[in-house]
Every structure is written in C-alpha cells, then in structure tokens.
Amino acid sequence: MIRRIARSALLNTPLERPARALLRIIRGTNQPVSIPRLTPQTFKAFDLPKGFTEDSLRDVMLSFRIDDGAKGELDPYVYDALFRFLHSWSLVKDEKGTCLEMGANPYFISWLLREHTEMDITLANYFGGSEGKLSQTLTWESNGEVHHDLLECDHFNMEESRFPYEDNTFDVVLYCEIIEHLLMNPVHTLREIHRVLKPNGKLVVTTPNVARLGNVLAMIDGRSIYDPYSGYGVYGRHNREYSMHELIHLLQFCGFTADTFFTGDAHREDHSHHPKFNDVLPLIEFRENDLGQYLFAAVRASNTPQPGFPASLYRSYKPEEMNNEW
C-alpha cells in the first residue's frame, strides 16, 4: 500500500513531473543516453534566492569559512551538494515562524535560511563530548564585501538525548543528512522532533537514496554500496541509508503525514558512459522517479507516534518493544 502511495505522490510532485518524459526518451533509441530527470537543473527543479544565478550563488558559498578554516576548505562540499541545499531550502522558503535546523554545520542551508527566509532560526549540532552551547563564526564574501556571522548553536546528541526545547516550540524543523549517520535509534530522534514541533508543524528530511542510479550500477559492477569506515568515528560514516519506501514508512510510524516527497540530485552526474547503461535502463524504467541521489521528504506532525519499534526496520529487540503492525 505504501509503495503505491509513494509512487502516486512521486509522479504527482511538481518538482518531478518532467520525469514522465523519461520513457519517451528511452524508447526508440539504441544510443547511450543520460537520464534527464537525474539532472535537476535541466528542468529548473529548484528555486534560487532572489537576485542570484546558480553561478553567483555557488561563488558566495565557495567563499565560506568556519572559524579559522582556510578559504577553499569547504569547496568540495559545495561542488558535491549545491543542488541539495537548494532543494532543501525550496521546501521551506515561504514558511514563517520558528525553525530548528539540526546538524547545521557547515551552515550552507543555515545561510539560505537566515538570509532568504522570514523564519527565526535555531541551530543545533553534535560533535561528540559534552552537551550545552557552542558558537562558530561563519565568514563569507558577497559583492566584494566580507561578512562575519557569529552562530550560536545548541549542542546535544540527537539520537540519545531529550532535545533542549519545550513541547510545541517550532513551526518548522530541518533534519538534513543526519538520519543516515544514526547508529541505533532513528525512532527516538523523530519522536523528539514530533514533540518539539507545533501541531501540524513541518518537517523536512533529506538523506542519501540507497536505491539511486549510481548504486544500481555499482551493484552491477560487483562494487559495494556501503560507506567506508571514518576517521571521525562512528557518526562520521553512513550507518544506514534508506529507500523512499522505508523513509516514508518510518516517518508515518513516528506520527507524520506526507506533503511532498521526491528524489533528486545534489550535483550533475552522467552515467551514460557505463558499459551496461543501456542494458540496465529497461530494468529500472518502472521506477524512473526513484533514482535520484537523494531523498527529500516534507511531512507534517499531524498524527500520534506509534509505540515501540516498527518490526519492518528493527529486529532482536524484546517482543513487547516490537510493533508488528509496522
């Protein structure tokens, strides 16, 4: 049932409607082709802040420095994830009220929120160690001027701790590129987000798509799709990536209902040179909306979270802790 719901929503999401052209492009050609819907910029699938082009926005973000970091240190992040920043911001750019951004560092989305929305932004991070408050200075350049912004953040373990906010505090929460890093319990984090959101408040979740085209081709090659071990510790790697079906299922279990969800790319990526590309296309064309690099979900805190853990995603817990209806 959820699979049918997910497919219906994907096919009817405004950002993804151009994907319907995929089948017309694939059929009738034996030549190597790239899949246009996997290049969001082809279809202007995201908005840009007023007064910016893609290039001018990229130039500003390429000037970002945190504290005493060297200029250029964050450049690989910008080249890898610019479209993801814009997709995420586009989902909340017209919202008002209070907003919590979790995992805010390195502050690209934070900057978009602070400079190009009307929301009051609270930032949260966790780098290990003691919890409390921390501050970091973001420096950037725009129109020949250098800007400095002292960012105050709440510092707490989002997977284990009770969030340091009262119930019904925020109108919007952004939870971008965190869930894949969690070790044991995404349910705790999502229940806490539900608690601090106002009734029907908006949550935006983004995370890598385990079913992305690049992973499909990696498996064809016999390569692993799992993230390497990280020198930054257990939270430095992707411990669990999700498909869209799994993510929406988990969000529903935790009391959220879907407004919009889709897959999209964070950067341009052309797989047409892969030797098996044309052989693989007919096998995956039925899920042409499900092949982007990242999952994007905008949901509302409109239901009551379910008790226990969803049996579809958990095992080896006490029987009384498992919810077999999920």
* Structural domain count of the chain: 1
pTM of the predicted protein model: 0.85
pLDDT band (50, 70, 90) for residue 20:
very low
Structure tokens at 249: 């299922």
CB 294 within 8 Å of CB 264: yes
| CA–CA distances in Å: residue 118 to residues 35, 165, 179 | 36, 21, 26
User: The domain spanning residue 10 has which CATH number?
Assistant: 3.40.50.150
Angle (deg, nearest 10), helices 244-253 and 2-11: 110
Query: Percentage of residues in the chain with pLDDT exceeding 90?
Result: 74
Among 65, 47, 156, 53, which residue's Cα sits nearest to residue 108?
Answer: 65
Going through 109-165 in order, the beta strands assigned E by DSSP cover 120-125, 132-142, 145-155
> Is the pLDDT confidence value at 7 over 70?
no
Strand-pair category, 65-66 with 98-102: unpaired
Per-residue pLDDT tens digits for 173-189:
999 999 999 999 999 99
> Is the pLDDT confidence value at 37 over 90?
no
> Is the pLDDT confidence value at 6 over 90?
no
Secondary element (H or E) of residue 206: strand 197-208
pLDDT band (50, 70, 90) for residue 297:
very high
Q: What is the pLDDT of residue 30?
A: 35
Structure tokens at 72: 């250029």
Per-residue pLDDT tens digits for 108-120:
999 999 999 999 9
Query: Percentage of residues in the chain with pLDDT exceeding 70?
Result: 86
Which amino acid makes up residue 79? Y
pLDDT band (50, 70, 90) for residue 8:
very low
Structure tokens at 18: 């151009």
Per-residue pLDDT tens digits for 217-273:
999 999 999 999 999 889 999 999 999 999 999 999 999 999 999 999 999 888 888
> Is the pLDDT confidence value at 287 over 60?
yes
Domain that holds residue 150: 2-323
> Is the pLDDT confidence value at 280 over 70?
yes
Question: How far, in Å, CA of 146 to CA of 152, rounded?
Answer: 20
Question: How far, in Å, CA of 202 to CA of 299, rounded?
Answer: 6
